[in-house]
Amino acid sequence: MIKTIRAVKLAGLLRIHTKHFDEPIVEQVARSHDSYRVLVSTMLSLRTKDATTAQASRRLFARARSLTSLLQLSPQQIERLIYPVGFYKTKAKNLLSMARLVVQKHHGSIPNSEADLLALPGVGRKTANLVLSLSFKKDTICVDTHVHRISNRFDLVRTQTPLETEMALQKVLPKKYWKHWNTWLVVWGQNICFPVSPKCSLCPLKGACPRRNVIHSR
């Protein structure tokens, strides 16, 4: 109960104070209401900075506006378009395999179930949950490195892996905040709550954060 009360307080503060920063690129892409673009941008974003993801996404979507047009490109063409995202060669192969499977098995529509998304090449829980949340408005908690680190710093969870964090957050975070938690904590992790030397002295959440003096990530 104490952790839930803290989570609600932190959610209210995050909702207010994250408005002063740019939102993550995938959230910007989600405004297109195109689940194909959300899925592709999320796949590109893994192990990649937002600015690089944004540029790679723009180049790719200029050539591949849909799954069918993506399938017209060779792996080498996709590699050149998305470079220098992390693991760009692997991602190029996964993008083509994902597109083929969606066209063959789902009639060209991005699936809206966790099981079907997780069956796609290059899609893990983080990507699946973010697509379900942003494109299909489902209540999911997408846990990336920022969500895992900061949720532990907030002492809302005490976990070792992203999956443990997702399961633990479901118990303490009211469902109405699930869709927003990733966006808020990604913004906070990119601008305030760094892995090393977070800006605790400047943080407007420090009154509600029990780990405000933590210097190194867990």
- The angle formed by the CA atoms of residues 164, 214 and 158, to the nearest 5 degrees, is 20
How many residues are listed for the chain in this entry?
218
- Residue 43 carries which side chain, given as an amino acid letter? M
pTM here is: 0.91
- How does residue 218 score in pLDDT terms, banded at 50, 70 and 90? very low
pLDDT at residue number 28: 92
- How does residue 215 score in pLDDT terms, banded at 50, 70 and 90? very low
pLDDT at residue number 216: 38
| Cα–Cα dist 53/85, whole Å | 7
| pLDDT tens digits along 26-84 | 999 998 889 999 999 999 999 999 999 999 999 999 999 999 999 999 999 999 999 99
pLDDT at residue number 58: 97
Domains of the chain: 2-21+141-202 (1.10.1670.10), 32-136 (1.10.340.30)
Calculate mean pLDDT across residues 94-119.
Answer: 97
Residue (of 76, 80, 114) closest to 96 by Cα position: 76
pLDDT at residue number 212: 57
**Cα separation values, 131 from 35, 37, 53, 67, 137, Å:** 7, 10, 16, 16, 9
| Cα–Cα dist 216/218, whole Å | 6
Q: Which 8-state DSSP code applies to residue 196?
A: B
pLDDT at residue number 206: 87
- How does residue 97 score in pLDDT terms, banded at 50, 70 and 90? very high
| pLDDT tens digits along 154-213 | 999 999 999 999 999 999 999 999 999 999 999 999 999 999 999 999 999 988 998 654
Q: Tokens 């673009």 appear where?
A: 37
> What is the separation of C-alpha 80 from the centre of its chain, rounded to a whole number of angstroms?
24
| Cα–Cα dist 133/54, whole Å | 20
Which residues, other chains included, contact 108 with Cβ-Cβ below 8 Å and sequence gap of 6+? Answer: 67, 68, 102
